[in-house]
Chains A and B, each alone.
Chain A
Amino acid sequence: MRFLLLFSRQGKLRLQKWFTPIPEREKKKITRDMTTMVLARKPRSCNFLHWKDLKIVYKRYASLYFCCGLDAEENELLALEMLHRYVELLDKYFGNVCELDIIFNFEKAYFILDEFLLGGEVQETSKLVVARSVEASDMLQETERLMEIILLFPLFFSCYHGGIHEQACILTLGEMDLHTHQKDSGQYRSGGLTTVQNDGVVSCRMRVCF
């Protein structure tokens, strides 16, 4: 596989991964060509195209297009399933993934992709194994963060939250962390669900069939 692009129906690039060295300008050109070409396709067309000497495989999941470029000898159908497996992995991680998850947690989307694909080849096809290793690294960072909070801000926590109820929170700092998170992401979720953003993203769930 030469590259993988995720872009929205409006042609906004959400994720790009290049598996061969390509100059920036060329990347922009390819991206432009891909979005115009793929977005112009009628629904229920086939998922494959020829472009220059590459095979292009794309599939739409809700508001996002997943599009990859293959060498002449690669297998198109399997690439299609590769895209699907990546969506499944995202879905497992984010829980019913939507475009906004990928926008706000773009770094996560890249990490998951690295666990799954490397150098343009499938590294691990087992969903369980990939999910486990992504989770393991998450665990690692959660514990790191907990340690950090406990070590640096014990006073802050007890002062700020004061009271018996909040004491319980200090005991379960894990939830504390969770709480702040929800606040963060509340911003985008409410925005995404109720109104159409300037770039037209609607927080609609990707249909993933299991």
Chain B
Amino acid sequence: MPAVSKGDGMRGLAVFISDIRNCKSKEAEIKRINKELANIRSKFKGDKALDGYSKKKYVCKLLFIFLLGHDIDFGHMEAVNLLSSNKYTEKQIGYLFISVLVNSNSDLISLINNALKNDLSSRNPTFMNLALHCIANVGSREMAEAFAAEVPRILVAGDTMDSVKQSAALCLLRLNRTSPDLVLMGEWTARVVHLLNDQHLGVVTAATSLITTLAQKSPEDFKTSVSLAVARLSRIVSSASTDLQDYTYYFVAAPWLSVKLLRLLQCYPPPEDGAIRGRLTECLETILNKAQEPPKSKKVQHSNAKNAVLFEAISLIIHHDSEPTLLVRACNQLGQFLQHRETNLRYLALESMCTLASSEFSHEAVKTHIETVINALKSERDVSVRQRAVDLLYAMCDRSNAKQIVAEMLSYLETADYSIREEIVLKVAILAEKYAVDYTWYVDTILNLIRFAGDYVSDEVWYRVIQIVINRDEVQGYAAKTVFEALQAPACHENLVKVGGYILGEFGNLIAGDSRSSPLIQFDLLHSKFHLCSVPTRALLLSAYIKFINLFPEVKGTIQEVLRSDSQLRNADVELQQRAVEYLRLSCIASTDILATVLEEMPPFPERESSILAKLKRKKGPGNLHPDLDENRKERSANGGTADHSSTTSNAKSSPLSFVGDLLAPASTAPPTNRPRPVSSSYLLQAPLTPMPPQASAVPVLLSTGPLFQVAASPTPSTDLLGLGSTITTQNSAPPASKGTSLLVDVFSENIAAFPVETPVAVGPVADENFSSFLPNTPQVAYANATLPTAEEPEDKFVCKNNGVLYENQLLQIGLKSEFRQNLGRMYVFFGNKTSTQFMNFAASVVCQDTLQAQLNVHAKPADPTVDGGAQLQQILNIECVSDFVDAPVLNIQFRYGGTLQSIAVKLPITLNKFFQPTEMTSQDFFQRWKQLGAPQQEVQKIFKAKHSMDTEVTKAKIMGFGAALLDGVDPNPSNFVGAGVIHTKTTQVGCLLRLEPNTQAQMYRLTLRTSRDTVSQRLCDLLSEQF
């Protein structure tokens, strides 16, 4: 039968398509299309009623034009008209147009729904199928609302044709994916599960897909499907290849259905019933056995289908992770595939092994393939296969093979494809750190990374190497020596200059005893790179120079000369100029004592999660980092490490990345020095070369406004948190914190006038009370009552904002200002004495009750015991969130007023959402994550009545105040709000997605929260729902 006899022969359409294809240029094509559009428009607008055929033809032309990539803004109505035609072909074209084009145009939806309804109730299976296909293709919320109840009825009705059942099942699946809340299976559940027993394999295939999706949502409801699925699978697996007739695909029995059944079983743990479990194990063994049989056909389709089932079976085995023999067999099978001549199989084997590597039972078995994988890395011709090999090496790495794997990855890096270099760099950096027993190896590895692929070394990587060198005395001398040698190369990467500048600035003294690396040589070496570097690096080098002045007084003259040169002092870049000016003055004015104090060695960084790991996670998305997720499991099976190291990793894992709360503790031990570092006689001032986080009440001004060394450079988000900035410019002195906390002292106040740049300069935190005597009496921090709202609202009002009045009575007003970053926070509590009498024995303490104790650390700095009449006392609370929590800590205040003891207890508004870090993401990412968080316990939904007017802007502000990033254009419905963020606690980070759907007519909201932790979902939902 010649092909051309098919179809309904729209001659005009064929001519039009030919015309388009004959167009010689894009312009000609557009011209031809515009002509056609004008023609169609006039036909549609014309007085003469069009017959069905013409309408169909024109609609089809419009569709063709749209599919060519042009916009179509008319014809929808005509397409909808075609739906009610009783001619099949016209109806069919109408539906096609609608399913391709209509999702954006919703004003026709009720007409379309009407037509769909008619066809669904027509009892003509062909028409019903068309309607179901259309619903599945469009899958909009409106359609879900209209048909979510009807489709299940069609699916389970006894008299429905098989083909309609199949369409209905998949249509329902699609509706469930887009609007899971509307698809309520309820009474149908049992009958849908029963479809697994259907005679017709096509129906079973479609039903299995549906059940898998539904079971992911509510596993309990569909639990009975497990035994049916196992039974069905076992029948297929044991059937002869011809039994299933047309469902046998190239001698493989029902591969699609087998894979779907295996997929369904992956929604559940291994079956508890011994008989079912045995039967399933038997199936899996049969599938593994079949892989060893000779192929029944030489066709690639045969082996693909067979192996598709095999890989799915292996996924199930890995998912169950309970049968060591099966796991090892799976691993051996994959090992065979690693050397298969089919590239596809090698690729998939590498991919599956990655997941297998995280299983305790098979980790060792995976490791035996290391040589093959390394070989794949070197010899595979296809970059995507090589990338899988890198992933697998990363996954199988543990202490026993880390050196080998890191060396191989490094050597591969030199020739690696540009597209995957950055990822390899991150992986190498992580492995090198994680499995470093000997930190000289770590330093070498990272320097090699910079050497081989400097452009791909992100800031996180070199920040991290510096953090580690600073924190580990034993490696500092080696690091200084190595960077010094590395810098000798005539052309070295800027990242190397950064690391070199920082390390020599800190630890140059450790190698200065050697005449080959004398101070002057070190300085000259660094300075020879200066002019080739970008501004941030130059700024860093300037800081290294001032550190040199402290370390090596003999080069002071040379360095001052450099700083004094016009190219520095008059540099067009403000940051460089300011640094040069300030450093020059500092070096001229300050005594060696003060210099030694101000330029003291950097104190160790708090142990924290590697920022590199965070970056890799961001890059790869969740789910691709099994080795990290399963770190603990792997550690158990790996051959144990030094106690020192495991504590490092666990620390690093448990404390999330944070800069704000770093308390810069003084260095505990002095490093073994080749040459002693100048030490200040008093040892009182400890000013690191980084901007201090607001240690006490605030940081008025530092040596420089910008970060000097970027390693710890995360300037606090609120330098003038209390409006202190303005106080200083007029007062030129630091405001007091309460006594006993470290004060900020303007050491050089008498020299201010000498400074060419009008910035108040140089302060360091002081731990010594003596200094406070230098201070003039400073004014109280202004407490702007006017800007603060009244305290009438309940404490819920602090959920979305950080400042305000917490409590007020006739005597006392308590105001709050707080800031949060990651899992840390600081709260400034202001106690305002409203009377004219002094409060005596004033004491305020914070109590975390019961479970909260373990979840939240609140440390209150001691405050002054008296509050003068009309005066204000400030107390600082440092807060750390250890894990998610519900209760609020209580602030207990006691004081004596006019002889009577007053005591007040107030709940502090520290709520879980304060530890929110907003996350921006694209619509695609959002929905991907949303889906990943699909487990029923991860979602919490609440429908509630609006308490306030439903103003869009206010709502937006509230969601942002809540801490989530407000994502525009993610939700197809613009009136909905969608947000995303990460809750940081010390132990974990919890990704949160939220969606708020207002219904202005009903004055209701629906709030949906999905997070990776059920308690967090619940708590956030409770908190946020009170806000609207």
Q: Determine whether the beta carbon of B6 is less than 8 Å from that of A199.
A: no
User: Residues 59-79 of chain A: 1 if any B CB is under 8 Å from the residue's CB, otherwise 0?
Assistant: 000000000000011011110
Listed by A's residue number, 27 A-B pairs whose Cβ atoms lie within 8 Å are A21-B140, A45-B343, A75-B312, A76-B348, A77-B307, A78-B305, A81-B301, A82-B256, A94-B6, A95-B1, A103-B21, A105-B6, A114-B133, A118-B167, A119-B170, A119-B177, A120-B174, A123-B202, A124-B202, A125-B205, A126-B245, A126-B247, A141-B92, A145-B8, A148-B53, A178-B4, A181-B9
**Distance (whole angstroms) from the CB of A111 to the closest CB of chain B:** 7
A161, CB-defined interface residue at 8 Å: no
Q: How far is the CA of A118 from the CA of B344 in the complex (A)?
A: 26
- B347 to chain A: which residues have CB within 8 Å? 46, 48
Q: Determine whether the beta carbon of A46 is less than 8 Å from that of B385.
A: yes
For A23, A46, A105, A201, the residue with the greatest tally of chain B CB atoms inside 10 Å of its CB is A46
B3, CB-defined interface residue at 8 Å: yes
B661, CB-defined interface residue at 8 Å: no
- A16 to chain B: which residues have CB within 8 Å? 67
**Distance (whole angstroms) from the CB of B784 to the closest CB of chain A:** 46
User: Residues 96-120 of chain B: 1 if any A CB is under 8 Å from the residue's CB, otherwise 0?
Assistant: 1000100110000000000000000
From the candidates B15, B103, B170, name the one contacting A123 in the complex (CB within 8 A): B170
For window 1-48 of chain A, which residues contact chain B by CB distance below 8 Å?
Answer: 13, 15-16, 19-24, 26, 28, 42, 44-48
Q: Determine whether the beta carbon of B11 is less than 8 Å from that of A52.
A: no
Q: Determine whether the beta carbon of B92 is less than 8 Å from that of A191.
A: no
- B67 to chain A: which residues have CB within 8 Å? 13, 15-16, 106
Q: Determine whether the beta carbon of B24 is less than 8 Å from that of A198.
A: yes
- B166 to chain A: which residues have CB within 8 Å? 118, 123-124
Stretch in contact with the other chain, from B222-230, B882-890, B920-928: B920-928
- A141 to chain B: which residues have CB within 8 Å? 8, 87-89, 92
Q: How far is the CA of A13 from the CA of B260 in the complex (A)?
A: 30
- B139 to chain A: which residues have CB within 8 Å? 21, 119
B18, CB-defined interface residue at 8 Å: yes
For window 381-407 of chain B, which residues contact chain A by CB distance below 8 Å?
Answer: 381-382, 384-385, 387
Q: Determine whether the beta carbon of A129 is less than 8 Å from that of B202.
A: yes
Q: How far is the CA of A183 from the CA of B763 in the complex (A)?
A: 91
User: Residues 111-146 of chain A: 1 if any B CB is under 8 Å from the residue's CB, otherwise 0?
Assistant: 100100011111111111100010011101100110
Q: Determine whether the beta carbon of A111 is less than 8 Å from that of B92.
A: yes
B246, CB-defined interface residue at 8 Å: yes
From the candidates B17, B53, B170, B384, name the one contacting A121 in the complex (CB within 8 A): B170
Q: Determine whether the beta carbon of A108 is less than 8 Å from that of B308.
A: no
From the candidates B4, B126, B385, name the one contacting A136 in the complex (CB within 8 A): B126
Q: How far is the CA of A200 from the CA of B167 in the complex (A)?
A: 38
Residue of chain B at shortest CB distance from A97: B3
**Distance (whole angstroms) from the CB of A113 to the closest CB of chain B:** 10
List residues of chain B with CB under 8 Å of any chain A CB. 1-9, 11, 14-15, 17-18, 21-24, 53, 60, 63-64, 67, 69, 87-89, 92-93, 96, 100, 103-104, 126, 129, 132-133, 136-137, 139-140, 163, 166-167, 170-171, 173-174, 177-178, 201-202, 205-206, 209, 245-247, 249, 254-257, 259, 263, 266, 299, 301, 304-305, 307-308, 311-312, 315, 343-344, 346-348, 381-382, 384-385, 387, 621, 623, 923-925, 927-928, 969, 972
**Distance (whole angstroms) from the CB of A199 to the closest CB of chain B:** 7
**Distance (whole angstroms) from the CB of B745 to the closest CB of chain A:** 53
- B257 to chain A: which residues have CB within 8 Å? 125
- B382 to chain A: which residues have CB within 8 Å? 42, 45-46
- A187 to chain B: which residues have CB within 8 Å? 14-15, 18
A204, CB-defined interface residue at 8 Å: no
Q: Determine whether the beta carbon of A45 is less than 8 Å from that of B206.
A: no
Q: How far is the CA of A169 from the CA of B350 in the complex (A)?
A: 64
A209, CB-defined interface residue at 8 Å: yes
Q: Determine whether the beta carbon of A119 is less than 8 Å from that of B308.
A: no
- B969 to chain A: which residues have CB within 8 Å? 23
**Distance (whole angstroms) from the CB of A97 to the closest CB of chain B:** 8
Residue of chain A at shortest CB distance from B28: A198
Q: How far is the CA of A140 from the CA of B139 in the complex (A)?
A: 27
- B53 to chain A: which residues have CB within 8 Å? 148
Q: How far is the CA of A108 from the CA of B3 in the complex (A)?
A: 12
**Distance (whole angstroms) from the CB of A12 to the closest CB of chain B:** 9
Contacts beyond the supplied A16-B67, A138-B6, A141-B89: 4 A-B pairs with Cβ under 8 Å: A75-B308, A77-B308, A118-B170, A184-B4
**Distance (whole angstroms) from the CB of B392 to the closest CB of chain A:** 13
Q: How many residues of A contact B (CB 8 A)?
A: 83
- A129 to chain B: which residues have CB within 8 Å? 163, 202, 246
Q: How far is the CA of A141 from the CA of B5 in the complex (A)?
A: 12
Residue of chain A at shortest CB distance from B344: A46
Q: Determine whether the beta carbon of B167 is less than 8 Å from that of A144.
A: no
Q: Determine whether the beta carbon of A123 is less than 8 Å from that of B17.
A: no
**Distance (whole angstroms) from the CB of A160 to the closest CB of chain B:** 16
Q: How far is the CA of A119 from the CA of B206 in the complex (A)?
A: 11
- A21 to chain B: which residues have CB within 8 Å? 103, 139-140, 178, 972
From the candidates B1, B6, B178, B304, name the one contacting A77 in the complex (CB within 8 A): B304
**Distance (whole angstroms) from the CB of A172 to the closest CB of chain B:** 13
Q: Determine whether the beta carbon of A184 is less than 8 Å from that of B14.
A: yes
Residue of chain B at shortest CB distance from A125: B256
For window 133-174 of chain A, which residues contact chain B by CB distance below 8 Å?
Answer: 133, 136-138, 140-141, 144-145, 148
A86, CB-defined interface residue at 8 Å: no
Residue of chain B at shortest CB distance from A139: B88
From the candidates A72, A106, A118, A144, name the one contacting B133 in the complex (CB within 8 A): A118
Residue of chain A at shortest CB distance from B92: A111
User: If the complex has contacts A45-B343, A137-B126, are A185 and B4 also in contact, measured as CB distance less than 8 A?
Assistant: yes
Q: Determine whether the beta carbon of A81 is less than 8 Å from that of B249.
A: yes
Q: How far is the CA of A145 from the CA of B9 in the complex (A)?
A: 10
Q: Determine whether the beta carbon of B344 is less than 8 Å from that of A108.
A: no
Q: How far is the CA of A50 from the CA of B173 in the complex (A)?
A: 26
- B256 to chain A: which residues have CB within 8 Å? 78, 82, 122, 125
**Distance (whole angstroms) from the CB of B156 to the closest CB of chain A:** 17
Q: Determine whether the beta carbon of A104 is less than 8 Å from that of B14.
A: yes
Q: Determine whether the beta carbon of A75 is less than 8 Å from that of B3.
A: no
- A95 to chain B: which residues have CB within 8 Å? 1-3
Q: How far is the CA of A209 from the CA of B297 in the complex (A)?
A: 12
Q: How far is the CA of A177 from the CA of B166 in the complex (A)?
A: 33
Residue of chain A at shortest CB distance from B209: A121
From the candidates B7, B69, B925, name the one contacting A181 in the complex (CB within 8 A): B7
Q: How far is the CA of A114 from the CA of B489 in the complex (A)?
A: 64
Q: Determine whether the beta carbon of B308 is less than 8 Å from that of A81.
A: yes
- B315 to chain A: which residues have CB within 8 Å? 73
Residue of chain A at shortest CB distance from B623: A72
Residue of chain B at shortest CB distance from A24: B104
Residue of chain B at shortest CB distance from A126: B246
Q: Determine whether the beta carbon of B259 is less than 8 Å from that of A75.
A: yes
Q: How far is the CA of A140 from the CA of B923 in the complex (A)?
A: 42
Q: Determine whether the beta carbon of B344 is less than 8 Å from that of A48.
A: yes
Q: Determine whether the beta carbon of B14 is less than 8 Å from that of A118.
A: no
Residue of chain A at shortest CB distance from B257: A125
Q: How far is the CA of A128 from the CA of B3 in the complex (A)?
A: 17
- B346 to chain A: which residues have CB within 8 Å? 46
- A184 to chain B: which residues have CB within 8 Å? 4, 9, 11, 14
Q: Determine whether the beta carbon of B21 is less than 8 Å from that of A121.
A: no
User: If the complex has contacts A123-B167, A136-B126, are A110 and B348 also in contact, measured as CB distance less than 8 A?
Assistant: no
Residue of chain B at shortest CB distance from A12: B68
Residue of chain A at shortest CB distance from B163: A133
- B87 to chain A: which residues have CB within 8 Å? 141, 144
- B132 to chain A: which residues have CB within 8 Å? 118
From the candidates A123, A128, A136, name the one contacting B206 in the complex (CB within 8 A): A123
Q: Determine whether the beta carbon of B6 is less than 8 Å from that of A107.
A: no
Q: How far is the CA of A123 from the CA of B245 in the complex (A)?
A: 17
Q: How far is the CA of A75 from the CA of B263 in the complex (A)?
A: 9
Q: How far is the CA of A76 from the CA of B202 in the complex (A)?
A: 21
Q: How far is the CA of A40 from the CA of B88 in the complex (A)?
A: 42
- B64 to chain A: which residues have CB within 8 Å? 106
Q: Determine whether the beta carbon of B254 is less than 8 Å from that of A107.
A: no
- A94 to chain B: which residues have CB within 8 Å? 3, 6
Q: Determine whether the beta carbon of A198 is less than 8 Å from that of B209.
A: no
